[in-house]
Amino acid sequence: MGSGFGYAYRHTCRMDDEIMARYVPLQNTKGSGFKVFFFEFRTKFMVEEEQGKRTVVGSERFHERCVKDEGACIVARRRLWEDYWMVLDETGSLCCDAFDYARKSEIENPDRDVIPVVVEIEVCTVQQAGEPISATFERAIQPDRLRPVYLNTLGVRPPYPVSPMLESHLRLLPRIRVESVEQGRALMDACQICSRKPTIGDVITHLRCQHAFHSHCAVKWLVHSNLCPSCHSQEHSFVKPKIKAPVPVPPA
C-alpha cells in the first residue's frame, strides 16, 4: 500500500487462465517460439471514510501484451501516473512487481508460451481529518472522470469511430492536475460541459482558444464536435469516419 495526499493504492498479482479464452490474439501466440507476458489490469475505485467504511464508486479493466524483456508495462505506467495520480516511484514499483511475478510464473511454467497475469488494483480516495464526506466523494478518482483508456496506448481501439488524426489530437491535449482549491479556481470557475467546479485531483485541459474544461469532458465533447462549447471557435478539423450502413439482405 502506498499513498499520496488523500489517496491510497494496493495491488496483488495472480495467474488467470480465463484470460486465454477472453482475448483471441493470445491464441495466435501459441507455438510462436517466444514468451509473451499478458497483463490484465483490473481496477476498483473506492472512497474510504475516517471510520474505515469503504464504498465502491466504479471499476475498469485494461490489458497490455509484453514480449519478455522488451519493457515493463508501458501502458500501465502511463495510466497509473497520468490518470490515477500515482507517484512515479509507486507506479514503477507496481509495474515491476507485475513483471517480476510474470517472470516467476514463467519459471514455474516452462512449457507455456503465454503467461497470463491479472493485476488487481485498488485506488482509494481517503477522507481526511475534518473533510466533509461529500467533499471526499467529489474529489474521488473514478472511471467516469478519467480519460478513455485508448488515449494511453496505440494498442487499444476506442469503442466508437474516431479518426487516427483526431485520436492523436486528443492524446496531445494539454493537461493540468489540480493540487489545491486556489489553483482550481484560477484555472476555471466551472466546467461549462458538466457544470462542476474544479476540485483537488481534477485534470483540466485548455483548448486552443484558452477556454478550460475537465480533461475527460473535453475529450468526450471533441469526439462529437470540433468546436469549443464556450466560444464555438474551431478546435480541430478532423471528421469522424463514416460508418457504412449494412446492406439489407433480401428475404429467401
Domain limits at 187?
A: 158-243
For 36-82, how does the pLDDT look when each residue is reduced to its tens digit (9 = 90+)?
A: 898 999 999 999 999 999 999 999 998 888 876 655 677 788 888 88
Q: 77 and 172 share a domain? A: no
Which SS3 state, helix, strand or coil, does residue 166 take?
A: helix
Q: Residue 132 corresponds to which cell in the numbers above?
A: 466533509
Does 182 lie in the same domain as 74?
no
pTM of the model: 0.82
User: Which of these, 216, 88, 70, lies nearest to 142 by C-alpha position?
Assistant: 216
Domain match, 15 and 126 both: yes
* DSSP SS3 for 60: strand
Residues 86 and 202 in one domain: no
- Together in a domain, 72 and 189: no
210-230 tens-digit pLDDT: 999 999 999 999 998 999 999
Task: Answer for the pair 239, 247: CB distance below 8 angstroms, yes or no.
Answer: no
Domain termination residue (choose one: 82, 108, 143)? 143
- Write down the residue that cell numbers 487499444 correspond to: 156
Question: Do residues 235 and 227 lie in contact, with contact meaning Cβ atoms separated by under 8 Å?
Answer: yes
Q: Are residues 129 and 183 in the same domain?
A: no
178-183-185 Cα angle (round to 5): 105
How many domains are there within the chain?
2
Q: Are residues 20 and 82 in the same domain?
A: yes
Question: Domain holding 185: CATH number?
Answer: 3.30.40.10
